């Protein structure tokens, strides 16, 4: 072997089979969602899935361990928000999104991969989770992805066009701890299961839940929705 030439090794049969199955499942899910993603983007999403699965062994990023379940319940679940986000915001170029309580980077990393012109910041109070997202950004060369190890209520001096959450807390708590981080024309994108009518009723008077959008996650037989909210005046009054 010549110096400097890296030996090409084949994937173990089981891993190669999983990769092929996941690639087909991802392509099928995108088709069902009406989401057109290039082969490169789909490959990057599968790369992220492998990183999530690998780091999960040590860092306990998610309760799921099976790659097919992780694909469906994490990646595809987050991909179901892409078209709704595009409709809600319009042109995402230069927009800033904060993913609150990002955990393993869901939905923040998925959105950063699919929308490279969107600036994504993931914040989590658990250091190892923020470290994982930083590693993903470095290894996958995602300049539009940042991670902060912090409690979101302690952030200051930052504002965002979209504040997103997937498994953070109730709607009233979400808006309470991020009210000062959202632009005047910004919106909250809260991913939920069933429509949380009780939580919506408890929102403060300066926040409007203007749309509860049902979403269908391919292969998932469960209710899912996005609660879209907006501030009714400037955070500083």
pLDDT tens sequence across 174-214: 999 999 999 999 999 999 999 999 999 999 999 999 999 99
Per-residue pLDDT, 220:
92
* CA–CA distance, 14 with 16 (Å, rounded to integer): 5
Average pLDDT score over residue span 117-132: 97
Residue 189 lies in a domain: yes
Residue 6: pLDDT above 60?
A: no
- The rounded distance, in Å, linking the Cα atoms of 132 and 130 is 5
Number of domains composing the chain: 2
Tokens 């230069």 — which residue?
Answer: 94
Q: How far apart are CA 176 and CA 161, in angstroms?
A: 16
Predicted confidence band of residue 236 (pLDDT cuts 50, 70, 90): low
Strands 182-192, 224-231: pairing is antiparallel
Would the pLDDT of 140 be above 60?
yes
CATH of the domain at 173: 3.40.50.150
CB 79 within 8 A of CB 25: no
What phi, psi does 13 have (nearest 5°)? -50, -45
Q: What is the DSSP letter of 76?
A: I
2 assigned to some structural domain: no
Binned at pLDDT 50, 70 and 90, residue 18 comes out as: confident
- Shared-domain flag, residues 24 and 92: no
> Is residue 218 within 8 Å of 28, Cβ to Cβ?
yes
Burial 179-214 (b: 16+ CB within 10 A, else e): bebbbeebbbbbbbeebbeebbeebeeebebeebee
Lowest mean pLDDT among 4-13, 54-63, 125-134, 181-190: 4-13
Residue 61: pLDDT over 90: no
Residues 218 and 136 in one domain: yes
pTM of structure? 0.90
**DSSP codes, 151-201:** -GGG--S--EEEEEESSS--HHHHHHHHGGGEEEEEEEEEEESS--HHHHH
pLDDT band at 17 (very low <50, low <70, confident <90, very high): low
Predicted local confidence at residue 60, as pLDDT: 80
Same domain, 174 and 61: no
What is the band of 14 on the pLDDT scale with cuts at 50, 70, 90?
Answer: low
Measured from the Cβ of residue 130, the count of other Cβ atoms closer than 10 Å reads: 21
Q: Considering the domain boundaries, does residue 236 fall inside one?
A: no
Q: Cα(131)–Cα(103) distance, rounded to whole angstroms? A: 10
pLDDT of 15 reads 61
CA 204 distance to own-chain centroid: 26
Q: pLDDT confidence of 7, banded at 50, 70, 90?
A: very low
Q: What is the pLDDT of residues 223-232, one digit of tens each?
A: 999 999 999 9
Do both 57 and 158 map to the same domain? Answer: no
Residues 59 and 154 in one domain: no
Above 80 in pLDDT, residue 101? Answer: yes
- 62 and 106 housed in the same domain: no
């Amino acid at each position: 072997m010549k110096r400097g030439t890296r030996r090409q090794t084949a994937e173990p049969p089981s891993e190669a089979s999983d990769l092929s199955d996941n690639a087909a499942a991802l392509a099928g899910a995108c088709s069902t969602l009406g989401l057109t993603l290039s082969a490169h983007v789909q490959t990057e999403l599968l790369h992220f899935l492998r990183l999530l699965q690998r780091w999960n062994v040590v860092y306990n990023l998610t309760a799921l361990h099976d790659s097919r379940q992780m694909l469906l319940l994490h990646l595809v679940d987050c991909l179901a928000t892409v078209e709704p986000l595009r409709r809600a915001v319009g042109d995402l170029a230069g927009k800033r999104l904060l993913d609150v309580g990002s955990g393993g980077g869901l939905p923040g990393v998925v959105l950063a991969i699919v929308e490279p012109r969107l600036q994504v910041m993931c914040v989590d109070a658990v250091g190892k989770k923020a470290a994982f997202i930083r590693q993903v950004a470095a290894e996958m060369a995602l300049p539009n992805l940042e991670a902060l190890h912090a409690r979101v209520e302690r952030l200051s001096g930052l504002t965002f066009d979209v504040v997103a959450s997937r498994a953070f807390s109730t709607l009233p708590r979400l808006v309470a701890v991020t009210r000062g981080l959202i632009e005047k024309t910004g919106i909250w994108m809260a991913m939920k299961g069933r429509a949380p009518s009780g939580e919506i009723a408890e929102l403060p008077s300066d926040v409007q839940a203007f749309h509860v959008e049902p979403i269908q996650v391919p292969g998932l037989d469960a209710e899912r929705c996005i609660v879209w909210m907006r501030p009714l005046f400037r955070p500083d009054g």
